[in-house]
Chain A
């Protein structure tokens, strides 16, 4: 199958709002009602086959949006269509066309072996035998699930469980896959394995993916397009490079030298800290660290170094400060 990115939108949101009435105790008997606008007028479309990062600080409205997209919350205003389906009206029909993966919750049956969980999923989604066999084979091979199929889910490590969960969400050939922090808590190897799989699966099958995460590396390795939401509003929608530029984010190079040195004047970076033999340099996130490292190593007794990536929250909060 070929990727059909750029054709008709599979996810459409038009002026979507979600308002919650929150009752809060303000005295022994008194309660005040406050209206919380969790999602405040969001519009966007996602073409078929695209991988989109949907990011924002905690409480920004990400989960609320995903809950509306899956039909378990009704929007207070606005219009949502997923593959032409109104989620709130036809939640069950929609459920057959979407896959959902939560990093912090499992969709598997904890007391059943993976294979039995998949059997239940097959029946629940009424997956034709041929489709099921093909998808299971693909997932088992690419996610290396072979040795895990007979293991009860509760005995799986977090990384193994996550791979098992991703496979479970793809067995019924979903048009759209929602991933909610799919790499949270995973080690580096497991993270990159999950990312590699998702990238390959998207390229091969053209499944549309909406990814929520706090891990910038997830976004960098999977998404060309990023949407940033804050206080229920879409504050950025565009490429990853533009996000760094508009967020003016910086990476930090931390260098340990053999002895204490005066602050080094490094072209293309500025020294932001000296702590004994350790010095820190900030440089624009869009720039490569290689020339800086080369320059440091050539002229100074470099012992060790590390690079701190800009935290996505910092990027976002700085960007939100700039746009509001």
Chain B
């Protein structure tokens, strides 16, 4: 059981590790964007201190966590989904379906390997860059960092669950570009990448915080900032786990429907 999927995780990690120049370019981009957003936030928090309940150092920490999570959560694409949609469109998916392996677990393993690499390759460097240039509100308790890592892992599974559903739409739509772009736009806003979801008042804020995308940035960032403590932290992780389970179950259902009704392209 673990043998094959474990090997796929390792391969996913190694595969992204070979793209060294892409990783370096990504780190530079994340750092530059981090700088731009950080100065925008400083301007905003000067006018409205404690917006969304964040102090200025907390808000800046939020910015750099966001940059660190951008690639990990594949918020701007770059995960497995393009490849899976290509395989569906070309009919190569038929080969995968003839394997004694579960499609969803297979791609999840590959994506976990990718995310693990990007946490190290694309996550750590921008975070260090932010910490050197700004006064950040980073926790000193190792327990908080551990909770943060668990929260990131759950966020990656939620992110996978959403992208797997989007990718499977290619069985029906053939051209999945529209679906991918819609999902990306929704992800950028509802994950809290543009502004923390806590800033949004009233009904919109409530809804945004309850959607699965908030598990990808808002929740991990708040866990790191210590806004969820004790049972609150567990509730936050349970919120993520709940969405993860729900989305994986939905993906499994959709995979079953797709496999049953599929008229595999060509060949």
Q: Which residues of A contact B (CB under 8 A)?
A: 20, 63, 67, 70-74, 91-93, 95-96, 98, 100, 102, 104-107, 109, 111-112, 116, 119-120, 123-126, 180
Residue B57 is within 8 A (CB to CB) of chain A in the complex: no
A123 in contact with B91 given A70-B98, A92-B100 (CB within 8 Å): no
Is the pair B92, A105 in contact by a Cβ cutoff of 8 Å? yes
A105 in contact with B259 given A92-B100, A100-B95, A123-B7 (CB within 8 Å): no
What residues on B are CB-neighbors of A100 within 8 Å?
95, 98
What residues on B are CB-neighbors of A20 within 8 Å?
263
Provide the bound-state CA to CA distance between A112 and B259, in Å.
27
Is the pair B11, A120 in contact by a Cβ cutoff of 8 Å? yes
Pick 10 A–B contacts, CB within 8 A, sort by A: A63-B267, A70-B98, A73-B264, A104-B267, A105-B92, A105-B95, A107-B95, A119-B7, A123-B3, A123-B7
Residue B99 is within 8 A (CB to CB) of chain A in the complex: yes
Chain A residue at smallest Cβ distance from B100: A95
How far, in Å, is B212 (CB) from chain A's closest CB? 29
Q: Mark B1-19, 1 if CB is under 8 A from A, else 0.
A: 0011001100100010000
Closest 7 CB pairs of A and B: A95-B100, A123-B4, A123-B3, A72-B97, A124-B4, A96-B100, A70-B98
A-B contacts counted at CB < 8 A amount to: 58
A111 in contact with B15 given A123-B7, A124-B4 (CB within 8 Å): yes
Provide the bound-state CA to CA distance between A111 and B15, in Å.
8
Checking A72, A96, A98, A109 against B259 with a beta-carbon cut-off of 8 angstroms, the contacting residue is A72
How far, in Å, is B218 (CB) from chain A's closest CB? 35
A95 in contact with B98 given A74-B260, A119-B7, A126-B3 (CB within 8 Å): yes
What residues on B are CB-neighbors of A73 within 8 Å?
262, 264
What residues on B are CB-neighbors of A91 within 8 Å?
97
Is the pair A95, B3 in contact by a Cβ cutoff of 8 Å? no
Residue B101 is within 8 A (CB to CB) of chain A in the complex: yes
Is the pair A72, B100 in contact by a Cβ cutoff of 8 Å? no
